Structure 1
Amino acid sequence: MTKSLLAEFTAREGAEDEVAMLIRDYAEKVREEEGNLTFDVYTKSAAPRAFWIFEVYRDEDAFRAHLNAPYGAPFNAALTPLIEEDASVLTFLDPLAVHR
């Protein structure tokens, strides 16, 4: 079963461009991971400092491999002082079964 989540954080006032640059570079690396199916980055229209990242991994093992990637910790260390939250807020998602 795929592993899906939404990561959210808000750039501090004036740090939007630096956060956007960091996340663009990080997204390129994550999208190259064998088990990554989706890594889409958004900003909220009404609040452009709010970033939302929709992530989908092939399965739990692929997600664990993502967590252990060597570029993850440096990305988070660079991001943390630039955002309002203590860390990205993660919301894990389950698909809703739809019957026809």
Structure 2
Amino acid sequence: MTEPTILHAVFTALPEKGEEVAALLRDFAEVVRAEEGNVLFDATRLVDDPDRFFVYEVYRDDAAFQAHISAPAGIPFNAALQQLIVEPASVLTFLRRI
């Protein structure tokens, strides 16, 4: 059995862009959750700092994750997100179940 691909992404909205990031993320979440290999896509904001976003993602396996990152919807999402966040891109951390 293959291992799932698990990761989290973090990023910070530019000043006054938090609601725009949240809306963009809500729309993208619906698209990702419909992908065949997506197991979980949970987008959240930090309670103490609502401009900080935390996204937890689980894909069936690496092939499903590769399909996700090459899906057409990701290109406009990432381009729009890049204009709204402090970091040059989402900071990704890959995880492994224990």
TM-score (norm: length of structure 2) = 0.96
Instruction: Return the alpha-carbon distance in structure 2 between the equivalents of residues 93 and 66 of structure 1.
Output: 17
Instruction: Return the letter of the residue paired with 1:53.
Output: V
Trace 1:17-36 onto structure 2 (pairs within 5 A).
17-36=19-38
Q: How many pairs were matched up?
A: 96
Q: CA RMSD in A?
A: 0.5
% identity of equivalent residues? 53
Instruction: Return the letter of the residue paired with 1:57.
Output: Y
Residue in 1 that maps onto 2:83: 81
SS in 1 for 2:87: coil
Instruction: Return the letter of the residue paired with 2:76.
Output: P
Residue in 1 that maps onto 2:14: 12
TM-score (norm: length of structure 1) = 0.94
Residue in 1 that maps onto 2:96: 94
Instruction: Return the letter of the residue paired with 1:11.
Output: A
Unaligned regions of 5+ residues in structure 1, if any? none
Instruction: Return the alpha-carbon distance in structure 2 between the equivalents of residues 14 and 34 of structure 1.
Output: 35
Cα offset, 1:28, TM superposition = 0.3
Instruction: Return the alpha-carbon distance in structure 2 between the equivalents of residues 49 and 5 of structure 1.
Output: 20
Instruction: Return the alpha-carbon distance in structure 2 between the equivalents of residues 75 and 81 of structure 1.
Output: 10
Instruction: Return the alpha-carbon distance in structure 1 between the equivalents of residues 43 and 25 of structure 2.
Output: 8
Instruction: Return the alpha-carbon distance in structure 2 between the equivalents of residues 7 and 23 of structure 1.
Output: 12
For the pair shown, the structure with the greater C-alpha radius of gyration is 1
